Structures are given as C-alpha cells and as structure tokens.
Amino acid sequence: MSTLGRVTSSSTPGPAPDQASPVPADALVVRTVALDLDQAQSLLALVPAERPVTWLRRGDGLVGWGVAAEVRTHGATRFADAGKWWSELIARAAVHDEVVEPGTGLVSFGTFAFADEPGDSILVVPRVVVGRRGDVAWLTTVGEPADEPIVPAEPASAPAEVSFADGALNGEQWMSVVADAVARISAGDLEKVVLARDLIATANGPIDVRAPLGRLAETYPMCWTFHVDGMFGATPEMLVRRERGLVTSRVLAGTIRRTGDDERDLALAATLARSSKDLEEHEYAVRSVADALEPHCSSMNVPEAPFVLHLPNVMHLASDVAGVVHDAATVSSLQLAEALHPSAAVGGTPTAVATALITEIEGMDRDRYAGPVGWMDASGDGEWGIALRSARVEGSTVRLFAGCGIVADSDPEAELAESQAKFVPVRDALTTG
C-alpha cells in the first residue's frame, strides 16, 4: 500500500508470461485468451460475491471479480490523479492479449464522485474479467492464471424484507427546494438546474448486490447495468464512449412517466417531443456536451432534433452526439469523461452557477450519484456512463438517488412525481422476488 497526496493505491504483481522480452520484477502480468461463446452466455451468472464489477447491456459487456490493483482519489484532481495512476500501471504491465478488442488486455473499472468534495472515487483492476462482444468472448486474468474453469458462481439470494424511508428531505421539503430553484431561474440567475433527492432502503440482512443487478439487467436491457465498489444501477445515459478514435455521447434530458398503456404512451411520447419545457431542457444538455467535446474532437455531428427513448418506466428525449478524437494517443476516454462532467443533464446551465446552487439548496451529499461510471482499457478506449437510476449499497443499507431537470416552467409536484418514477428501477430490483 502506498500513499501519494490524497491518492491511495495498491497492486499485486504476478509471474511473468512466456515471452522473449524480459519482464520487470514488479510487472503486473495480464493475459487475455479467447473463450467459447457458450462459456459466456450469461456473464452475470459467472460473478461471485467477492468484489464484483459489472458493465452490461443486452447481454454483452464486461464482468469481473477480485482486486489486482486499485486507487482511490479525492477532490478536484480526482480524475487527473486516477489517470496518472493508470498510466503508471500500464507502463509496468506485461500484457499477452490473444483477442485484441476494446475491453481486452489490462482493463480498469471506475466510479467517480459527482462533486470535488466530499466523496471518494475509485479505479479498480479486477483479478479476473470475462467479456463478450457479439460473437467474441474472452477471459482476462491478472497475476496467476485462473486454475479453475469459468463456471457459474453460487447464485445470489435476495433479502426477505426491505423497508424504505425518506433521505435528506421528504417530498414536501424537496418540492420547496424545486420552487426556490424555479424562482431563481425566473429571476434570470440561471437557465436550468438539476436537483436530486435520496431514499434510504434498509434490508433485514446484508444485500448481495448481484441480486438487484440481475433484475436490472433483465428489466432494462437497453440500459447499461453497472456495479463498481458498491455503486450500482442501470443507466440510460452514455456520458462518453471512445472506440478506436470515434467518440459518442448519448444525451438524455426531458422525461415523461409511462402509464403501461401502449396507446396512451405513444400519445405521451408525441407530447414529450413537442413540449417546449422539455425541448428547452434538452437543448441545454446537448449544447453543454457539444461544447465540452469540441476542443478534443473533429467532424462533430450534433443532431438538430432529439428522438424519444422508450424505457419500461419512463420516456426521455435523447440525442447522440458524435465526433472523432484529435489524438487518441493522448486523450483517453477518462479524460473525455472529465471534460464532459458535469453536463447540463446532471448539473445545469450555466454549469458553475448551477452546481453552486445545487450545493446551496439541494440539502444532501450526492456521493457518486450522477458521476461518471464505467471502464477503460490500456489504449484509452472505454465507456463511461452517468450513474443514474442508481444507488450505493453498504451492508444492509442502500441509498437510492433520483434527479430532475428544473427550468422556468417546472412544476414542483410534477417534478416530485418524475423523481418517484426514477426511483422505480432500483426500488423494484431490491424488492422483486
């Protein structure tokens, strides 16, 4: 264990692979080999309870377990400190990669605090990673190769009883905060602010996070189901993906709750697509993403109008912004995530004014809620989502989060209803047998 400033890291080197070039004594030895697809049909079923990490969408993605190396960072330099640690780890890694796809070789998973203070952030390299991408599957081990075959782990058990209570603010108090924000927007102090609230779930025993992860992956296959260091959820929003130089970001802003009636929901989708309030909120979010990516990218493609993304519980206005990174050798996906965070979709517009207002009136610590979460490989490719529809689990307690974009036309009661809809994915995942 070593400490450098406010960065704490640890790693365990392994033996050298068979190769001609000499390997430093302290090298982190990484091996990636191909797997038969039938060994990776259900990635989540392979994950044991020991420090699991997951990043899944529609059956594809990455899962891992154990800890080969990790770093915890804090404060305004949390992204830069994590990036420096990662670069140093790559420099002393001996990698044998038979697959050579994004997500093979040396891979880290991360979850970052929303604000500079308080809260910690983490990058972790699992001892074992299993990945699948279409018709390609692989196994990565760090240190000793896996002696046992990759087989399903012991299944997770769900808690028998879960109770819920208000977090920092109850509904009435939170609506007062929303009304305060609307008044400030109407006065011209800012254009938009995103306000969040929390809900506390308490189980009758320690929660095995694999149980709610399985339900989230099954119910929300179009979202990215994630877990890193206690932070878990199913996010619909891709902050940034970098793959072989191509950069994409999915922006969600503007929400309406589904009714469960298909005909009614189609009418609501049309209403959402015409809503001046929601279109205004969405425009702010898209503009903030495009402005943040522009210094790093060329050939930017910014859609003129959003589409409606249909999820089981809500519908969102969505836009996919794309570009080509200027220099893939020097601009990693984590650096792009730092440049984008916080976007207007989770902070507001103007960013500095909105985040200051969040600190002033929101009344709670966001921890890692709405911060970047995802993975990165040694080439800098990776996927970083926004930790939405999310919660943090510690023992038998789970803290759920939900947020809403507030603009001049926002109605506090409607925003409270929207926040309750956004609690549904994790709440149901904790209580559904």
Out of 70, 101, 191, 192, pick the active-site residue.
Answer: 192
Q: Which residues contact 266 (CB under 8 A, 6 or more apart)?
A: none
Q: Which residues contact 1 (CB under 8 A, 6 or more apart)?
A: 8, 9, 10
Q: Measuring CA to CA, which residue among 364, 368, 430, 422 is closest to residue 201?
A: 430
Q: Are strands 224-228 and 382-386 parallel, antiparallel or unpaired?
A: unpaired
Adjacent-strand bridge partners of 69:
11, 125
Coil, helix or strand for 156?
Answer: coil
CB of 211 closer than 8 Å to CB of 52: no
Out of 70, 101, 237, 281, pick the active-site residue.
Answer: 237
- Residue 86 corresponds to which tokens in the numbers above? 């990662």
Alpha-helix residue ranges (DSSP H) falling in 39-122: 78-91
Q: What are phi and psi of 85, to 5 degrees?
A: -60, -45
Is position 192 annotated as part of the catalytic site? yes
Q: How far apart are CA 84 and CA 95, in angstroms?
A: 19
Q: Measuring CA to CA, which residue among 303, 326, 310, 191 is closest to residue 250?
A: 303
CB of 422 closer than 8 Å to CB of 372: no
Residue at 152: amino acid letter = P
Active site residues: 192, 237
